[in-house]
Amino acid sequence: MARRGPVARLGIMGGTFDPIHYGHLVAAEAARTEFDLEVVVFVPSGHPPHKKDSRLTPARHRYLMTVLAVATNPWFEVSRVEIEREGYSYTIDTVKAFRERYGPATELYFITGADAILEILTWHRVNELLTMCRFIAATRPGYHLDGLGQVLQKLPPEGRGRIHLLEVPALAISSTDVRERVRCGRSIKYLLPEAVEHYIYKNHLYVSDAEAEGVEEA
């Protein structure tokens, strides 16, 4: 899953990474330095239950783009734990896998966006999940936090105290915008690592359905 040996503080960066971009990478690095994490493991999602109706790029592409993106950072790693799991990918199952791998002495920090935290009350077995790890909710500058405060108030006090906010300027970049830019033939340079940009174009990702089918048949 990730490196062997004792780890005091481990970051788990969850997401679809469709595609991964500099916002994800800057958020992970900011969390690593701010919370003194020894390693951050990126976990591309397999079959996220909250995106049942959306069409995700095949997991193999999202995984390989993530590997390319983190290759130059010695504190970053990538795990296949979710994309190899059958059925829906629930965060609690992923956290349990890391807990079993690293043991009770390792403090786990799950890194995600503040938008995702807004939906945390709907997450599978959320109260149990909050006893197993801390959350780092990355926000962009000027993010409206009123809604988040209302959500947190509905959590038990002990769980509420395990969610930490982290402001990350680069989060103005979004995967949705990157995909739309590719579809429209607009530049995505400097929004994500060059290796990921080349991978997207080489594999004809995020083009129209007709174009994608043509590539698959070729």
Q: For the chain, give the mean pLDDT.
A: 88
| pLDDT confidence tier of residue 186, bands split at 50, 70 and 90 | very high
Write down the pTM of the prediction.
0.89
Whether the pLDDT of residue 68 is over 60: the answer is yes
Helix (H, G, I), strand (E, B) or coil at 108: strand
Over residues 124-144, the pLDDT tens digits come to 999 999 999 999 999 877 666
Alpha carbon dihedral 186, 188, 189, 194, in 10-degree steps, equals: -130
The backbone region for 190, taken as left when phi is positive above 0, alpha when psi lies in -120 to 50, beta otherwise, is left
With a pLDDT cut of 70, the percent of the chain lying above it is 89
Instruction: Dump pLDDT digits (tens) for 103-129.
Output: 999 999 999 988 888 888 889 999 999
Structure tokens at 70: 């983190």
Q: Which CATH class is domain 9-172?
A: alpha beta
Choose among 120, 192, 124: nearest CA to 160. Answer: 120
Q: Domain residue spans in the chain?
A: 9-172
